[in-house]
Amino acid sequence: MNQRDLERLSEYLDGRLSPDEAIHLEARLSSDSELAAALQALRETRALLRQLPRRRSPRNFSLTPQMVSRRPPLPRFYPVLRLATAFATFLFLLVFLVRQVPFPVPAAMPMAEAGPAAPALMAATLEEQPSPEPPHTPKALAQELQENLTPATPIPEEDYSSLRIAAEPLSNVPQEAPLSLLLARGQILFGLLALLGAATMLIVRYTTARKWRA
Amino acid sequence: MNESHLIASAQRGDLNAFNTLVLHYQDMVFNAALRILGEEEAAADASQEAFLSAFQALPSYRGGSFKAWLLRIVTNACYDELRRRKRRPTAPLEPQTDQGDDLETTRWLTDSALTPDQQLEAQELEHAIQHCLDALPTDFRLVVVLADIEGLDYLEIAHALRLPIGTIKSRLARARLRLRECLQDFWELLPSAFRLRNEKNA
């Protein structure tokens, strides 16, 4: 029995042969015991399969509105992207608001024009540290610097006076330029980052939805 | 409400109408998945996935046998599961030769590799048949499940599997022969009355 005979027998079993083909095959079956046995084997196999017990489904497969509205699974990095975009947007708005209001700069705030004098920079650093105490004068700062940093080796009087000289010009420095420039640049940077993040989120959502539908 | 009305309502987004169809067809869908996958839990998951896909694909349903359309979707869900298994194989489903070709015979099922417990389990008719179904190549198993267990005709199977009818006929014939060879090893375990009844029905 070849492959073609097998297919014919299977089709015959399913009643798919034309009347002429069926008559021809039945003539062969009556004279070919091997072919007849093969037909019987196929018939028994099909009957076994048809009589397999039907199982009841173990649970109800009804859909809930939540299941139906399910969205395509987004990539793992998506929440990070969303958070970063939200953070950039927040910073953009914050900088924007800060630029709208007059920004009082403390009198001793160091500027770029303050010069390279190291004691002045150190004094400014001390000034920037949050402290409940009232603002220090340059003299007080220098005094404090002396007490805190070099208690073991007192600074000579002439060094002390040079500190005061170097720090005094700070109160006369113009207050705007570098800070406002920095804020403007920050606003542009955060705005661009927020836009970039939002655009990436849209692209990720679109491509994921397309893949999901396919 | 008849089936076509329920389908039309479901196509308009009526979830209650669709769930009425789910209740009517869920046993059929689960049984098809069970015979293809051979595991109850995986079959239940595939069934759930199939109904969800069916609801989402309803707008593309253009009439014809709803049963065949559903079986096509559950077949796809089973294919996906089988592909996942292939990527994460736990045990070989089919024996292979040293050259990697599938063995033509399924007699390996009854050799000494089967433990006494497994043989005992296989004495039950259902287990024996499922055992032999599992041993079939996937393409053959899908055809024989849709034809001989779910009762689809050749045209519906060709539509469900997107294959030519000639391929369906060929695979069905070969699947039946392979099942017969496999079941031969369990034949003496089958109830004699069952065999007699089959012969009378023939």
The enclosing domain of B133 has a CATH number of: 1.10.10.10
pLDDT at B77: 95
| Residue B112 sits in the same domain as residue B197 | yes
**Which structural domain, as residue segments, surrounds residue B38?**
3-87
ipTM of the complex: 0.76
Give the pLDDT confidence of A30-49 residue by residue, as tens digits: 999 999 999 998 998 999 89
Give CA–CA dist A71/B9, Å, rounded.
22
Is any Cβ of chain B less than 8 angstroms from the Cβ of A4?
Answer: no
Give CA–CA dist B187/B181, Å, rounded.
10
Answer yes or no: is B160 within a domain: yes
pLDDT at B113: 55
Domain boundaries, chain A: 3-50, 75-102+176-213, 112-172
pLDDT at A116: 47
Q: What distance lies between CA B129 and its chain's CA centroid?
A: 12
Name which of A173-177, A204-208, B178-182 the model is least confident about. Answer: A173-177
E strands, B6-161, where? none
Q: How many domains does chain B have?
A: 2
Instruction: Return mean pLDDT, chain B.
Output: 81
Is any Cβ of chain A less than 8 angstroms from the Cβ of B80?
Answer: no
pLDDT band at A146; cut points 50, 70, 90: low
pLDDT at B28: 96
Contact B26 A68 (CB under 8 A): no
Alpha helices of A16-168 — where are they, by DSSP H? 19-31, 33-50, 65-68, 78-100, 118-128, 138-149, 157-167
| Residue B55 sits in the same domain as residue B135 | no
Residue B46 near residue B33, CB atoms below 8 Å: yes
Q: What percent of chain A has pLDDT over 90?
A: 37
Instruction: Determine whether A5 is exposed, middle or buried from the number of CB atoms within 10 Å of its CB (0-12, 13-18, 19+).
Output: middle
Is any Cβ of chain B less than 8 angstroms from the Cβ of A70?
Answer: yes
- Chain A hits for B151, CB-CB cut-off 8 Å, are 50
| Residue B197 sits in the same domain as residue B111 | yes
Answer yes or no: is B101 within a domain: no
Q: Which residue of B has its CA nearest to A5?
A: B173
| Residue B79 sits in the same domain as residue B153 | no
Give the pLDDT confidence of B53-89 residue by residue, as tens digits: 999 999 889 888 999 999 999 999 999 999 988 887 6
Of B30, B52, B173, the CB nearest to A55: B30
| Residue B17 sits in the same domain as residue B61 | yes
Helix, coil or strand: residue B97:
coil
| Residue B125 sits in the same domain as residue B52 | no
Higher pLDDT, A174 or A81: A81
Answer yes or no: is B102 within a domain: no
- Chain A hits for B56, CB-CB cut-off 8 Å, are 68
Chain B: closest CA distance from residue A58 (Å): 7
| Residue B124 sits in the same domain as residue B45 | no
| Residue B182 sits in the same domain as residue B115 | yes
Name which of A64-68, A94-98, A191-195 the model is least confident about. Answer: A64-68
pLDDT band at A213; cut points 50, 70, 90: low
Residue A11: Cβ within 10 Å count: 19
Residue B44 near residue B74, CB atoms below 8 Å: no
pLDDT at A125: 46
| Residue B68 sits in the same domain as residue B134 | no
Give CA–CA dist B37/A65, Å, rounded.
28
Answer yes or no: is B94 within a domain: no
Find the CATH number of the domain harbouring B28: 1.10.1740.10
- Chain A hits for B44, CB-CB cut-off 8 Å, are 57-59, 61
Give the pLDDT confidence of B86-141 residue by residue, as tens digits: 887 665 444 444 444 444 433 334 444 555 565 455 456 788 899 999 999 999 99
Is any Cβ of chain B less than 8 angstroms from the Cβ of A214?
Answer: no
Pair of tokens at residue B191? 């109830």
Contact A57 B44 (CB under 8 A): yes
Is any Cβ of chain B less than 8 angstroms from the Cβ of A10?
Answer: yes
Q: Is residue A172's pLDDT more than 80?
A: no
| Residue B81 sits in the same domain as residue B122 | no
pLDDT at B148: 96
Report the first-to-last Cα separation within chain A, whole angstroms: 44
| Residue B134 sits in the same domain as residue B191 | yes
| Residue B44 sits in the same domain as residue B119 | no
